Amino acid sequence: MSILKKEELNSNNLSVRFHDSFFKDLDNLSSKNIKIFEKKRKKILENPKRQKHLVGSAHCYREPITKNIRVVYFIHKNIIWFLTIGPHDKAYDNFKKRLYQIKIKYGLC
């Protein structure tokens, strides 16, 4: 399993950033689910718009990790922001609040 950093750069010149609370979300997952996330993260970096767009926010997408666990991310220019990961309902409840927080904090409005 690779070590996640607060910011990464991949071969597609996409920068990857994580919401401050994202790592707390990862702490709540099993090691098996974290390994699945690592594989899905690599696929997201290859093709960020590969899954369904989320209704209610522009440029937000979700990726199933398991039947019940979802990761939600936001694409802004060449940056992929991982917002939340966790149980289906909780992930969807958290993503709008976290999206708002990073838009305000980093002036992405």
Report domain extents, the chain: 13-106
Which CATH number applies to 13-106? 3.30.2310.20
Angstrom distances, CA of residue 72 to CA of 2, 39? 20, 15
Query: CB count, 10 Å around CB of 102?
Result: 19
28-76, pLDDT tens digit by residue?
Answer: 999 999 999 999 999 999 989 877 788 878 899 999 999 999 999 999 9
Rg of the chain on CA atoms, in Å: 13
9 contact partners, CB below 8 Å, separation of at least 6:
15, 16
Question: What pTM value is reported for the model?
Answer: 0.87
